[in-house]
Amino acid sequence: MKLTVFGASGGIGTEVVRQGLAAGHHITAVVRQTSNLAVDPHPSLEVVVADVMDPEAIAPAIVGRDAVVSALGPRGTGPTTVMTRGTQSIMQAMESGVRRLVVVSVAGIHSAGDDPFTRFVVKPVLGRILRHSFADAREMETQVKKADLDATIVCPPRLTNASAKAKIRSKKERTVPGGFSITRADAATYLLTAAADDTVIGSTVLIAN
């Protein structure tokens, strides 16, 4: 496939680029600065320096691709709209004709499938600490669901830098029982799988190790 990856210099995005290249895909990595991309040069890697918030600037990086993967995410716990604004910009740029979109959100804003302790104790605490990023993720999901695109929203729980475990559990529209974390490498593996999986179009998929 020909894939465009936003948030390519982040933890998940870097893994998507590396694994995508290893799997034989052509990857267009969109970054703000080339120095931020910790991936070795590759014949199938195209690096585009552009502001994700500018639809006109990123549109050329999307034209002719099979799918777009957005691994955008906030940093810190302060007020943020990076997921919402960035994804809106990406979707506007996709009006060139590309329909397949896979976006990363967060499992913490979903409660269907949770056990009582997680739903009534853990999630409320997380909701207070991460209220800004959770609000951003909720609004982003709302905008994606409204869009006329073949979209999949992927929601990982706590992300770790551990080595890939090669065990990825997933649930449509429900949290994964006991799924409190996932490695960034495994999350990236799922994103690449989802990009080629028509059965998850229109779904919110929660994943975990």
Burial 69-103 (b: 16+ CB within 10 A, else e): bbbbbbeeeeebebbbbbbbbbbebbeeebebbbb
User: Which whole-number Å values give the CA distances from 194 to 77, 110, 150, in the listed order?
Assistant: 28, 19, 11
Domain-wise residue ranges, the chain? 2-208
Local structure of 88: helix, strand or coil? helix
Q: Which of 130, 102, 111, 109 is nearest to 188 (CA)?
A: 102
User: Which of the following CATH numbers is that of domain 2-208: 3.30.70.2520, 2.40.30.10, 3.40.50.720, 3.40.228.10?
Assistant: 3.40.50.720
Contact between 26 and 48 under an 8 Å Cβ cutoff? The reply is no
**Total H helices, total E strands in the chain:** 7, 10
Residue type, 82: V
Whose tokens are 């549109």? That residue is 59
The DSSP letter of residue 104 is E
pLDDT in tens, the chain (209 residues): 999 999 999 999 999 999 999 999 999 999 988 778 999 999 999 999 999 999 999 999 999 999 999 999 877 778 899 999 999 999 999 998 999 999 999 999 998 888 888 888 888 788 788 889 999 999 999 999 999 999 999 999 999 999 999 899 999 999 999 999 999 999 999 999 999 999 999 999 999 99
